[in-house]
Amino acid sequence: IDIELAKSVLANITKAKTRITVESIKKLVCKEFSITQEDIVSASKKKRIVKPRQMAIFLSRKYTDQPIKKIGNSYNKYHATAIYAINAVERELKQKSVLFEQVNYLSKKIESGKL
């Protein structure tokens, strides 16, 4: 192994790994659930908006190093609401519900860099 080969390999690894951000997760969830970014940050309590928002908050916590307060702010929510969303998703994940499949699907997309 020479220095040029090492540089080449490291450059490819860096390019392949897409930076995961709260914004990229938000966009992915909006796309997958056919809702707008305005919907996901709105005060709407409709189930078709709330569930994706909770998943997005959960995934933002799992895949970014952002503090809960900042994640909550990204979705126009207080940190207590973000904590509630994370706990709600974790509860449903234990029950292996439909949400479990959805979160796994989104997680695989995030981990593969297909944001």
In the chain, domain spans: 20-111
Rounded distance between C-alpha atoms, residue 69 and residue 61, angstroms: 10
CATH code of the domain made up of 20-111: 1.10.1750.10
Residues whose CB falls within 8 Å of the CB of residue 26, separated by 6 or more in sequence, listed in order: 37, 40, 56, 60, 74, 75
Rounded distance between C-alpha atoms, residue 32 and residue 9, angstroms: 33
Full-prediction pTM beyond 0.85?
no
- What does the pLDDT read at residue 16? 44
In the predicted model, residues of the chain with pLDDT beneath 50 are: 15-17
Contact 108, 75 (CB under 8 A): no
